[in-house]
Each structure stands twice: as structure tokens, then as C-alpha cells.
Amino acid sequence: MKALADPISGYLDSLIYERKLSKYTWTTYAHELTQLVALAGTRALNTLTPADIREGVIRARAQGLAARSIARRLSVWRSFYRWLALHSVLESNPVAAVRAPKGAKILPKALSVDDARIMMEANPSQAPQALRDCAMVELFYSCGLRLAELIHLDFEYKVQAGGYRSAGWLDLPGKQVHVTGKGNRQRTVPIGRKAMTALQAWLTVRPQFIREDACPLFLSSHGRRISASSVKQRVKRVALTAGIAANVHPHVLRHSFATHVLQSSGDLRAVQEMLGHASISTTQIYTSLDFQHLAKIYDQAHPRARKRS
């Protein structure tokens, strides 16, 4: 095999045309690979050693990068070198034996049930943008969607010229959404009654936002698919309007969905399916949150746990 002239570009192209990663995921891979190129300097990428990779980990730690972010970086690098071994001369994968530093297990933040209810019901305005924001917030909390999954939802499934196919879409008659999550894993999640009501209200005014592209379920005021930054801003604004002091962003609503469903049902496997986790070990972190909820009730209710006045 010959050495590739530009292995990074070749690998990034394969992510689009072979693995069909989303634009958001592709951008993450591209960023992490620029860090690998910076680490290599003037050397060829296929000459790096495990010692070089460990040096990169040490630098990242010194720069304050979290253990989880370093693990993601190593995962991208490891995947790149596996691809490179199939397309070029590579004696061994220099990242194979390098492990990310262990970080403290940080439990995901979640709203209380009362705060979630207040936030969902704190948007009385009938202005078109307010109806859209209400529908987005309800859908996050009702379905546990990731930010990228929500913004890539189409009004209905589409196959267009040029090979475009909907990554996710609303199934209005079925009262559910079909989404494509991490690792190109597809799943179907039911939509709750309150979220359906909010969606129906948004759909009545949605035609006002349509310009050229009628596919996206959620549109900006300019008629384009709403951006991730806009969604974050709108979610935060809804929370502030509701008087929620916590820093609320889309992932907080996803965590709240998972925590509240698990507290109510105790069905870890069902929550795993609805969240789109590949491994149940990822979902098990919510059992810790559930235990915290139970511990709080115990401290408030048990006569031997209550503080004496």
C-alpha cells in the first residue's frame, strides 16, 4: 500500500459518504483531528507512537480539558488510525493502548417535577414564535431528544433529489417522532398528550415561516431550519420567563425526561430505548439520580432521619 497524500481529508470524506455521519458529529471529528495534526507537527501521522499520544493527553490535561473530552478525542484518533491501517502503511495503532484519565462521575442535572411543570406551562403567549418555542420545549421533555435530533426533524419523511433523506421526522397520525441518534441508530419515541397539543398549535402558524424549504419541522423567522444556538437561546428564555433559576438547556430537559420516567416506572430498559443509548450502562447513571430522590424523601419522612427542632 502507498502512503496517502492527505489521510485526514480521506477519512473525513469516508465519514460523510460511507458512515453518513451527521454534520454536527462530522464537525466534532474534524476538530479533534486538527488537534492530532497539531500534535504531529512536521511528522507524518503514521509515524506517531503511543508515547506521542500520551504526550498529547498530558498537554490536554494541562490545558484544562476534561477527562470526558479527552476520552472523546482519543476515540476519534483511534478510529482514524483503524481507518488508516486499511488504506495505507501503518505498523500499529498508536492510540490502541492509550487510555483517557479517569474523571469524577458527574451526575446529569435534572429539573424537579414541579419546575418542569412550571416551565412547560409558562408560555401563555399566542405569538407564532412563542408557539414554536413552546412546542420545542414540550418535545424535548416529552421525548428526551438530543438537541441535534430535534433540529433535524422534518415535518414528514422526505426523499429528495440529490440523495437527501430525512434524518428524523414527525409522524403526526402515529403521535410519535422517528429520529436518528448517535452511531446512526434510529428509534421511534411516542409524543405525550401535552406535547401533541403544543405541536398542533405550532403547526397552525408554521406556514407563516415557510420560505423555500418546507421540510424542517422547526423554522427560524428567516424560513430556514432553526439552528442549535437559536434553540439553546429560546429554551433558556422560556426557563427564565418561568422563573426557573437553574441554567436550563436542551440536555437538562433530556435528563429531566429520563429521570422522571425512571422514577415513575422503574423500567430502565424502556428508558434506554427511548433515549437511544447503545449500552444500558449509560442509562444506569439515572438510577443514581433516582436514589438521590429516594434519599431526599427518606430524610424528610423517616422519624429517625428528621432533624429535631
Residues recognised as catalytic: 146, 182, 251, 254, 277, 286
Phi, psi of 178 (to 5 degrees): -110, 125
Q: Which residue has the cell 502507498?
A: 2
| Structural contact between residues 57 and 70, judged by C-beta atoms closer than 8 angstroms | yes
Beta-bridged to residue 176, according to DSSP, are 171, 190
C-alpha cell of residue 47: 509515524
Alpha helix stretches (DSSP H) within the chain: 7-17, 23-40, 50-62, 67-87, 113-120, 128-143, 147-151, 193-205, 228-241, 250-265, 268-275, 280-283, 285-301
What's the CA gap between 19 and 276, in Å, rounded?
18
